[in-house]
Structure 1
Amino acid sequence: MANMTDYAAAYASFTPSNAKRYNFARDVIDVWAQPENNKRAMLWIDDTGTELDISFADIAQRSCRVANMLSGAGVRRGDTVIIILSRQLAWWETLTACIRAGFIASPGTTQLSPKDIAYRVDASGATAVVTDSLNAAKVDEIFTACPTLKSRILIDGARDGWVDYTAANAAASTNFTTADTAAEEDALCYFTSGTTGYPKMTMHTHGYGQGHVTTGKFWLDLTKDDLHWNISDTGWAKAAWSSYFAPWIQGAALFTHHTAGFDPKTCLGMFARYPITTMCGAPTIYRMLVQETLAAYTFPHLRHCVGAGEPLNPEIISAWQKATGLKIRDGYGQTETVILCGSFPALDVRPGSMGKPSPGVNLAIIDETGTEVAAGVEGDIALSISPVRPPWLFKGYKGDTDRTEACFRGSWYLTGDRAYRDEDGYFWFVSRADDVILSAGYRIGPFEVESALIEHPAVAESAVVSSPDATRGEIVAAFVVLAPGYTASDDLKQTLKDHVKHVTAPYKYPRKIEFVSELPKTVSGKIRRIDLRNREWGKGS
């Protein structure tokens, strides 16, 4: 039976957790690690055939070792540790160790360039980086230019100037006194792209972890008997949602496939090989899966599927349901929040709808004055922060008061997205209020790509917008005004694509480039991205 059988009753009766002192390692992981629970935390596999059955007791002990190792490397309470790892076990061990010790964890995708890493280290004042041999050279390249960075930890071998993670942990004690962290103490630092400037530092407190009970219990519908597969990059907050806090707060086990790249055929084969009961993936993942011959696969244990990261196409929901008998239930939230709105199990799925507000969440559509609008009227999606600000809402953008204050309008937090609510209380996404591009689940700021392009001598000006794509939802499209002496060509397009891949993370490169003689601008000289975006999407300006 689902955790939510009556939406109205669940919404009315839910009381959010609001402990004043909270540490997820102590209050969740260590509880499930007790001998009487004897609870599996993860079934981990890789492409070489390795299978590891990891218990909560294993995670608890290993995180104590890592906390001691990091402390021995000079990391202190309140310091930031940047974690650049894929789905290696060390990601879960290190994240848990940071929470346990009161360090601030800052996960990042393995696609980060040296320049990206340097920016994150300097902006956060990070004192340590934990990564693998595939990314170590990037850190070495910027090490001397980052004065706060004291320690480099390598998880898969020895390297000059680095702490050997495996050797250091083997020598470390499993005894570690967990920090008695206040709920409002800093715990996580996620870098998220915006319309202007470089990525913002989204700060979360320890209270964020306890807020994910709504994500895990009501949206993912998890219990301690589930094996949950979240197909997500560990560098993004989606992993914090569905690969860490939400499943483990429910006692569910994680299914983790450590692989170099996503292959839809391999993915589909997993459902018959392993007892996976619940799945979470970006719409891009589902789009790739339904392109396969789904009738050739079986899903004997799968009972619940959700999607998040961008609006889900109704035709994808239909194709998946026809093959599996299951509806993909959409969910809406942000790096800055927990689940805000969703097609919960007790609700009828209305294809294209975001569903209804989560229990414990007062979500509304408001106008420019902060007044709620009538059903059917488009406005800004906003979260009420009165009379009590939710403890799981981000603390702010570190070092950026202006951008933090811009997220609030009176007693409302603005998500930056626009929608309308129908007469039955369902929310329907309309558009983002900014120019951020969501491509295959990745959030890409146009400024970052434009800045990379302008570094090339062939580029005089550039503007970057989203363009529709059948598989990725959106792709990055760049409009480029060439510098004198350069001629438009396909070879130059490829050169610019390669240049962006080198300067910044590869997922940000423009898959579409158009050379133009000029860019549309306002009378004050600002680029009108909206005109270019409307052209790409076939809309009037």
Structure 2
Amino acid sequence: MDPDAVARSVHRWIEEYSGPEVDAAEMLVDRHDPDATAFTIVDVEDDRLIAHPLTYGEIADRSRRLATALAARGVGPGHRVGVLMGKRAELVVSLVALARLGAVYVPLFTAFAPPAIELRLTAAGARLVITEPGQVDKLEGLDVETIVAGPEFDRLVEESDPVPSSVAVGGDGMLILLFTSGTTGAPKGVPVPVRALAAFSCYMTYGLDVVDDDVFWNAADPGWAYGLYYGIVGPMATGRPNLLLRGGFSPTMTARVFTEFGVTNFASAPTVYRALSKDPSITGFSLRRASSAGEPLTPDVVVWSRDALGVEVRDTYGQTEHGMFINNHWHDDLRRPVMPGSMGFAMPGFSTSVVDGQIAIDVRHSPLMFFTGYLDAPDKTAARFTDDGAWYLTGDTGRMDEDGRFHFTARDDDVIIMAGYRIGPVEVESVLVTHPAVMDVAVVGRADELRGEVLEAFVVLTSGVTGTPELERELQQLVKTGFAAHAYPRTVHFVDALPKTPSGKVQRFLLRR
């Protein structure tokens, strides 16, 4: 271990990304070799995997031209623009084009139904959405303009002159506005400043240990924090290419990508690893690094991976508000033996402990901490910090052993983590309760061997209505169309009443039992 080298790296990143003249587009794209590959877009065509390299030069030119087209639409510094896309080149170009204008990128998960999209666009104050053909129908009826990937997007780029210069918003300027999953109410907006690139670079380097000659593949969706921070933004900040597979997950497809592209460094959710571990054909690989994030990693996956992948999967921990900050680090300067069930040690640049039973960040001594508060939500912001403002409280309970390793215990809030996606029960409940047969409802998570957790709904019906399998299916479909296709309750229990406190708050912990 070389603590001096680590400290120098952290200090360098802070200096790079924290000044008042920092230009995000310069840091992400323009300073890199224009001929170097930034991303490899992988399409599935006629059962073949077709690679389309996307260079920094291509991103630079297309983003400059798109910035001109966006400016003509009235987009300028501080304006929020929604981006509703999967893993495609236009997503990357859009993010950088917005950065050139000093505007703010608002990611939208493609599995969201129209109400969930509208809620986030309204909260962000976005009046323009850049989307793709398969998603454009979700925006019908909303008070937004659209730009659609394909001929329209390409024409705007081709017919526009490059913007002559980029807006430097500085380290504290907002780059991204990413919404949480809405655990205890409406989703909260997390402003992500340009200086967050320092923390992302630290995790890419010390947590994942992505090096120059790696073939890196972060398989997470860019509609959520892990995929956006460490599959899009982090790779560009550090100049480490990432694979972007345009296709659904399956163990067979994952194995093909490993083999055909020679993947050496892989990052994904425990759900992906669990699915791979159930397929006996997934064996004989020799990855250099494998990392997990999104939910606690079970020890059986670690044991399986050593033989099947040629390397153990290492767990890491973080949240939307600050990115990853506790890791079983892979870098040689920080790597230590893995203890089953442990999330690992604090990442450089973060001082962490357990405060009032919760995993907490010492804001005073954590120079990589970038979260200062939720968008337009002072009360919810205050609830995340101790009264003196010294500690950020994650809401996750845990313990720290005598060696400084952190162990996850439970969540203090009611968030459900399914297949790495954080789902707030209130959003699902808000959809279910619109059904005329539903008088009251509560949603909780249930342990699931493959997905980690799945949703279960406890429904109190209106007078005279009887719970039936047909009504259960109707309620499940209501969530699919009213919130998100992945977030429907796998089981609906029809009950006479919900357990509540004297003040009327649902006691979800009793339902989880």
The answer to whether residue 81 in structure 2 is matched with residue 84 in structure 1 is no
Using the TM superposition, give the Cα deviation of residue 208 of structure 1 relative to its aligned residue in structure 2, in angstroms: 1.1
Task: List per-residue Cα deviations over 1:452-476 (Å, max 9, x = no partner).
Answer: 1110011111111111001110111
Partner of 1:3: none
Partners in 1 of 2:164 and 2:448 — Cα distance? 49
Among 418, 431, 440, the residue aligned to 2:419 = 440
The question of whether the paired residues in 1 share the 8 Å contact of 2:222 and 2:232 is answered with no
Structure 2 residue 336 is the aligned partner of structure 1 residue 347 = yes
* Unmatched 5+ stretches in structure 1: 1-5, 144-148, 158-163, 368-378, 536-541
CA RMSD of aligned residues (A): 1.7
Amino acid of the structure 2 residue aligned with 1:362: S
Give per-residue Cα distances to partners, 1:272-302, cap 9 Å, x unaligned.
Answer: 111222110000010111111145x5435x2
Q: Does 1:219 align with 2:207?
A: yes
Question: Which residue identity is paired with 1:338?
Answer: G
Q: Does 1:43 align with 2:51?
A: no
| 1:452–1:10 distance in 2 versus 1, CA, 3 Å | farther
Q: Secondary structure at the match of 1:279?
A: strand
Checking the alignment, whether the CA contact within 8 Å between 1:204 and 1:395 is kept in structure 2 is no
Q: Tell me if 1:155 matches 2:149.
A: yes
Displacement of 1:173 after TM fit? 2.1
2 CA distance for matches of 1:465 and 1:380?
21
**In the alignment, which of 197, 201, 207 is matched to residue 189 of structure 2?**
201
Residues 1:356 and 2:345 aligned together: yes
Contact 1:24–1:210 under 8 Å retained in 2: no
Structure 1 residue 249 corresponds to structure 2 residue 257: no
- The answer to whether the Cα contact below 8 Å between 2:200 and 2:230 also exists between their aligned partners in 1 is no
Amino acid at match of 1:406: A
Matches of 1:466 and 1:155, distance apart in 2: 36
Return 5+ residue gaps in structure 2 as ranges.
none
Equivalence for 2:273: 286
The share of aligned pairs that are identical, in percent, is: 34
Equivalent residue, structure 2, for 1:262: 249
Change in Cα spacing, 1:225 to 1:101, as seen in structure 2 (3 Å) is: farther
Instruction: Give per-residue Cα distances to partners, 1:95-120, cap 9 Å, x unaligned.
Output: 11112221100011111222122212
1:459-474 matches, within 5 Å, as: 459-474=438-453
Aligned pairs for 1:104-183 (under 5 A) are 104-143=104-143, 149=144, 151-157=145-151, 164-183=152-171
**Structure 2 counterparts to residues 470-489 of structure 1, below 5 A:** 470-489=449-468
- Which one of the candidate residues 285, 300, 303 is aligned to 1:299? 285
What per-residue deviation string (whole Å, max 9, x for no partner) do you get for residues 130-161 of structure 1?
A: 00111112112223xxxxx3x3101124xxxx
Distance 1:178 1:424 in 2: 47
Q: Contact (CA 8 Å) 1:214, 1:339: kept in 2 or not? A: no
CA apart distance, 1:226 = 2.1
2:10 aligned with 1:15 = yes
Looking at structure 2, the residues matched to 225 and 76 of structure 1 have their Cα atoms a distance apart, in angstroms, of: 38
Deviates more, 1:394-403 or 1:468-477: 394-403
Q: Name the counterpart of 1:160.
A: none
**Quick check: 2:455–2:490 contact (8 Å CA) kept in 1?**
yes
Q: 1:220 to 1:204 in 2, by over 3 A?
A: same
In the alignment, what sits opposite 1:146?
A: none
Pair 137,28 (structure 1): closer, same or farther in 2 beyond 3 Å: closer
Segment of structure 1 superposing worse, 169-178 or 496-505 = 169-178
Task: Report the 3-state secondary structure (helix = DSSP H, G, I; strand = E; otherwise coil) of the residue aligned with 1:58.
Answer: helix
CA distance in structure 2 between the aligned counterparts of 1:227 and 1:29, rounded to whole angstroms: 19
Query: Which position in structure 1 is the counterpart of 2:180?
Result: 192
Cα offset for 1:325?
2.0
2:382 aligned to which of 399, 402, 405: 405
**Map of 2:364 onto structure 1:** 386
